[in-house]
């Protein structure tokens, strides 16, 4: 479950995403560039939720290490 505040944090993070790097998965031919990622975050749809979970998983683990 990603909170509203976490979505906002992830949005800020993805605003700094390198525009020349795209992401893709081995599911349903999903391929996203920076703008598309941000749209999913704003819509808070299934892909947006997963992108947010990925970033939050990273940030939480980073915090645990410190």
Partner 1 sequence: MPTNSALIIRPNYCVVTRYGSAYMTQILDSANSKSLPTIDLHGTEATASNFFSNLETQDPILVSILGHGSYNLIACQDGETLLVGGSNDYVLDGRVVYDLSCQSGRDLGASAVANGAISFLGYTEDFWVCLSEGEHSDGGMLNPLQDEVARGFLESHNVAPISYINGSTIENSYYNSQDRFTYWLNVWESIDSGVASLLMWNRDHQILHLFREDPIISTTPTPPSEKAGIAPLALAFAPLLILPLMKKLK
User: Can you give the binding site for partner 1, defined by CB under 8 A?
Assistant: 13-14, 16-31, 33, 50, 54-55, 57-58, 61
Strand partners, 31: 24
**Which CB atom, from 5 or from 19, has the smaller least distance to partner 1?**
19
| 8 A C-beta contact, residue 59 and residue 48 | no
CB of 57 to partner 1, least distance (A): 6
Residue whose pair of structure tokens reads 């992108």 in the numeric block: 51
| 8 A C-beta contact, residue 56 and residue 64 | no
**Which CB atom, from 22 or from 43, has the smaller least distance to partner 1?**
22
User: Quick one: tokens of 48?
Assistant: 């947006």
**Which CB atom, from 4 or from 20, has the smaller least distance to partner 1?**
20
């Amino acid at each position: 479950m990603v909170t509203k505040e976490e979505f906002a944090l992830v949005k800020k993070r993805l605003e700094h995403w390198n525009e020349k790097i795209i992401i893709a998965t081995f599911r349903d031919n999903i391929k996203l560039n920076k703008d598309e990622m941000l749209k999913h975050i704003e819509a808070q749809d299934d892909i947006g939720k997963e992108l947010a979970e990925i970033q939050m998983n990273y940030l939480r683990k980073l915090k645990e290490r410190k």
